């Protein structure tokens, strides 16, 4: 028997269906609320509102659980790769060896950018914000020809489109890094895997190819894999919103890049480094930072802390903290910012302000320290986040577009402006 909730308002009473997820989550289906009770809901920030049902990612914020297609993130972090996780998220299951090989071949084939992109990059100043460049270039991808086979099945076409976007975003990110430094653009090396090719495109010189160490490749694979999806976060909801108008995947992901850029979302990894650096350089002490975060001085927040869903440790933060320790030790790097981060974490987790509000380190708290150790400049941290999130945006956009019942997203509002009033000519306005 389907469960319902009864809503009584004035002289009306309606039964609204309860939707139960496979992990026991309950949602109130308000599809008939307006017609049945003349009401809409109001939930700024959507803290209590589900936009969809989804089979892709499950988060239990109270327990700090994150699973991609049911597989715990800890197992994927230990056994999988970014490319395999991308296939898992988009196609809904782990790939067989032949499927993974095919996906890797498509990623390699799609790595080169059309020569026309060089003119686009040259149109930006060297200090253009990398996220602005990334968003613009993603929109430009379909402006250039793409040879795809006509006999491909819808699934093969989806894999090709995903490979094209995931692969070209890597080349675009690397080209943006080189443009900013006046370095010549390089061509992808078809012999290299996804991450090693990225590091080649970023760090090679025309006369000496960069040999990324296995430790570095593993570390960046882990960072990308951990960022690959996170259910209906701000940027993914943006990709779904744009996709719901039947805009193409490139326009939808370009819009998602814009949402991710914000310091409350993916831009937090940059803000965390800036915060740690200001503490380290003596701008403020760790205790000052904690105090300012508690007082909300000038809107100051402990960047990399807190989360809309996690009210426990973000499992990705735990994994990245351990990886930062390991990679810095492998590199023989002593980064004082890691010590500052640990000090902040220890102080915050003992402070009732953070404990009472269940504010814990999130994915952005340690990721920047790891990327900095790998030689990735701070202003590219959110670009790396976008590279990692691309499979999630694609998977979520595809889930929406494959849903025959999907409708264009068009929220309602409660109007609080002036009631009807007449126009007043300019000469009567006093
Ligand atoms: C990401 O959604 C996702 O899944 C995102 C993400 C993903 O993978 O896509 O996980 C990636 O965006 C991680 C979050 C990165 N952002 C930051 O680290 C920025 C710092 N954190 C925040 O500003 C904040 O915690 C948010 C934005 C992450 C969550 O904001 P909410 O859910 O709107 O929470 P809130 O602002 O209502 O805060 C609740 C209380 C408030 O205090 P009171 O009004 O109850 O007194 O907690 C306080 C806030 O002031 N608070 C903080 C704080 N975060 C929340 N106080 C100090 N420092 C902080 N970081």
pLDDT band for position 152 (cuts 50, 70, 90)? confident
Q: Is the CB of 357 inside a 6 Å radius of any atom of ligand 1?
A: yes
Is 60 in the active site? Answer: no
Per-residue pLDDT of 8-51, as tens digits, reads 999 999 999 999 999 999 999 999 999 999 999 999 999 999 99
pLDDT range class, residue 206, cuts 50, 70, 90: confident
Q: Strand, coil or helix: what is 234? A: helix
Model confidence at 148: pLDDT above 80: no
Task: Tell me the average pLDDT across 66-78.
Answer: 98
Per-residue pLDDT at 2 exceeds 90: no
- Residue 244 has a pLDDT of 98
Q: Burial, 400: exposed, middle or buried (Cβ in 10 Å; 0-12, 13-18, 19+)? A: buried
Q: Whose CA is nearest to atom 34 of ligand 1?
A: 308
Atom number, ligand 1, closest to the C-alpha of residue 293:
57
Residue 363 CB–ligand 1 contact under 6 Å: yes
Gap from CA of 91 to ligand 1 centroid (Å): 31
382 Cβ contact list (under 8 Å, min separation 6)? 130, 131, 260, 261, 266, 267, 269, 270
Average pLDDT in the 215-240 region?
97
Q: What are 305's two structure tokens?
A: 């802390």
Please give the share of the chain, as a percent, with pLDDT higher than 70.
Answer: 100
Nearest CA to ligand 1 atom 27: 264
**For ligand 1, atom 30: residue with the closest CA:** 308
Specify the pLDDT at position 298: 86
Alpha-helix residue ranges (DSSP H) falling in 62-213: 73-79, 82-91, 97-109, 116-122, 130-140, 154-180, 194-203
Q: Is the CB of 73 under 6 A from ligand 1?
A: no
Q: Which of ligand 1's atoms lies nearest the C-alpha of 265?
A: 12
**Backbone angles phi and psi of 142, in degrees to 5:** -75, 0
Q: Whose CA is nearest to atom 32 of ligand 1?
A: 308
Residue 61 pLDDT more than 80?
A: yes
**Measured from the CA of 234, which atom of ligand 1 is nearest?**
2
Mean of the per-residue pLDDT values of the chain: 95
Average confidence (pLDDT) over 222-246: 98
User: What's the confidence (pLDDT) of residue 58?
Assistant: 98
pLDDT of residue 409: 97
pLDDT of residue 243: 98
Contact (CB, 8 A) for 175 and 119: no
Ligand 1 neighbourhood includes 305 CB (under 6 angstroms): yes
Closest ligand 1 atom to residue 306 Cα is 25
Per-residue model confidence (pLDDT) at position 354? 96
User: Does the structure show a pLDDT above 80 at 1?
Assistant: no
- Closest residue by CA, ligand 1 atom 14: 265
Strand partners, 9: 12
In the numeric block, which tokens belong to residue 430? 């006093």
Query: What confidence tens digit (pLDDT) does each residue in 393-416 have?
Result: 999 999 999 999 999 999 999 999
Residue 419 confidence (pLDDT) above 90:
yes
Q: pLDDT at residue 147 above 90?
A: no
Query: Residue 149: what pLDDT?
Result: 73
156 versus 83: the higher-pLDDT residue is: 83
* Residues 302 and 293: beta-carbon distance below 8 Å: yes
Rounded to the nearest 5°, which phi and psi values hold at 39?
-120, 155
- The model's pLDDT over 287-324, given as tens digits with 9 standing for 90+, comes to 999 999 999 988 889 999 999 999 999 999 999 999 99
Query: So what's the pLDDT on residue 282?
Result: 85
Give me the phi and psi of 24, to 5 degrees please: 85, 5
Q: How many CA atoms lie within 13 A of 104 on its CB side?
A: 20
pLDDT in tens, 364-391: 999 999 999 999 999 999 999 999 999 9
Whether 200 is a known active-site residue: answer: no
């Amino acid at each position: 028997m389907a469960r319902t909730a009864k809503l009584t308002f004035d002289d009306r009473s309606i039964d609204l269906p309860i939707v139960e997820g496979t992990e026991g989550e309950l949602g109130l289906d308000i599809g008939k609320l307006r017609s049945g009770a003349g009401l809409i809901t109001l939930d700024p920030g959507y803290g209590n509102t589900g936009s969809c049902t989804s089979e892709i990612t499950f988060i239990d914020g109270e327990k700090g659980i994150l699973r991609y297609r049911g597989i715990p993130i800890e197992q994927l972090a230990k056994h999988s790769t970014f490319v395999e996780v991308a296939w898992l998220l988009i196609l809904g299951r782990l790939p067989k060896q032949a499927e993974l090989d095919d996906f890797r071949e498509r990623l390699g084939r799609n790595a080169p950018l059309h020569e026309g992109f060089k003119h686009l990059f040259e149109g930006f100043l060297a200090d253009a914000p990398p996220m602005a460049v990334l968003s613009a270039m993603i929109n430009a991808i379909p402006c250039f020809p793409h040879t795809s086979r006509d006999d491909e099945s819808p699934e093969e076409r989806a894999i090709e489109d995903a490979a094209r976007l995931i692969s070209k975003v890597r080349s675009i990110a690397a080209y943006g890094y080189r443009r900013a430094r006046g370095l010549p653009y390089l061509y992808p090396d078809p012999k290299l895997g996804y991450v090693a090719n990225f590091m080649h495109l970023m760090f090679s010189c025309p006369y000496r190819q960069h040999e990324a160490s296995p430790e570095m490749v593993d570390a960046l694979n882990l960072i990308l894999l951990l960022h690959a999806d996170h259910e209906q976060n701000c940027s993914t909801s943006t990709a779904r919103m744009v996709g719901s108008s039947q805009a193409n995947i490139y326009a939808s992901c370009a819009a998602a890049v814009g949402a991710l850029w914000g310091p409350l979302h993916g831009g937090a990894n940059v803000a965390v480094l800036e915060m740690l650096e200001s503490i380290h350089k003596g701008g403020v002490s760790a205790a000052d930072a904690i105090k300012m975060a508690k007082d909300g001085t000038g809107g100051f927040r402990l960047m990399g802390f807190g989360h809309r869903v996690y009210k426990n440790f973000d499992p990705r933060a735990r994994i990245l903290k351990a990886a930062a320790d390991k990679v810095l030790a492998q590199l023989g790097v002593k980064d004082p910012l890691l010590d500052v981060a640990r000090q902040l974490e220890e102080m915050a987790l003992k402070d009732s302000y953070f404990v009472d509000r269940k504010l814990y380190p999130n994915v952005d708290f340690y990721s920047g320290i790891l990327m900095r150790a790998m030689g990735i400049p701070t202003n590219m941290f959110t670009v790396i986040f976008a590279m990692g999130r691309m499979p999630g945006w694609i998977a979520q956009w595809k889930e929406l577009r494959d849903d025959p019942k999907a409708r264009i997203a068009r929220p309602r509002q409660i109007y609080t402006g002036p009631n009807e009033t007449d126009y007043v000519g300019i000469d009567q306005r006093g």
